[in-house]
Every structure is written in structure tokens, then in C-alpha cells.
């Protein structure tokens, strides 16, 4: 069982790097929880593969610094959709 967890951590890390993926999108893609992804790439990967860990950390740090922008865009789009729904002629 331990080998499976180590392999998963490496797979998750590689996916994040290749796709500039967020923890949330990675969790959805692999069918695991965000907590699992986070623990695998921030704790397990650090001891298993330090080089891969540093690359993953770089991508996750960029994602973290941009998350307020993505959240603002999502909120803007939400209210634009609501406005269109209520203001469109039926």
C-alpha cells in the first residue's frame, strides 16, 4: 500500500507541473480530495522527490498569488449571467 501512495504523490506532482493545475482541479481529475492532493505534494513529495517538490511548489505558489484574480472573475461572470437571465426579453 505504501508504494501506491508514493506513486500517487509523484503522479499528482507531475500533473500539476505539466498543466499548471490547481490543487482543486488536480483533485477532481484524480478523484481524490483536495486534502489528499495537498498532503501528497506538500509533505510526502518533499521527502520522496525534492526536485519535483520544488517545481510543484513553484506552480502552487503562482496559483496562490493569482487566486484572488480568478475569484473576482468568477464573481463578475456570475452576476453578468444573472443580469442576462433577468434582463433578457422572453
For the chain, the domains span 2-87
User: Which CA distances in Å does 41 have to 1, 8, 51, 58, 78?
Assistant: 18, 9, 12, 12, 32
Question: What are the grid coordinates assigned to 74, written together?
Answer: 468568477
How sure is the predictor about 85, in pLDDT bands with cuts at 50, 70 and 90?
Answer: confident
The owner of cell 433577468 is 86
Mean pLDDT of 26-45: 95
Model pLDDT for residues 42-64, shown as the tens digit of each residue: 999 999 999 999 999 999 999 88
Whether this model's pTM surpasses 0.95: no
Judging by beta carbons within 10 Å of its beta carbon (0-12, 13-18, 19+), is residue 21 exposed, middle or buried?
buried
Amino acid at each position: 500500500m505504501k508504494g501506491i501512495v508514493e506513486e500517487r504523490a509523484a503522479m499528482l506532482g507531475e500533473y500539476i507541473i505539466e498543466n499548471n493545475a490547481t490543487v482543486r482541479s488536480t483533485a477532481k481529475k484524480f478523484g481524490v480530495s483536495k486534502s489528499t492532493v495537498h498532503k501528497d505534494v506538500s509533505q510526502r513529495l518533499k521527502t520522496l522527490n525534492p526536485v519535483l517538490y520544488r517545481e510543484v511548489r513553484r506552480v502552487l505558489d503562482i496559483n496562490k498569488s493569482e487566486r484572488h484574480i480568478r475569484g473576482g472573475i468568477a464573481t463578475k461572470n456570475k452576476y453578468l449571467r444573472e443580469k442576462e437571465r433577468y434582463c433578457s426579453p422572453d
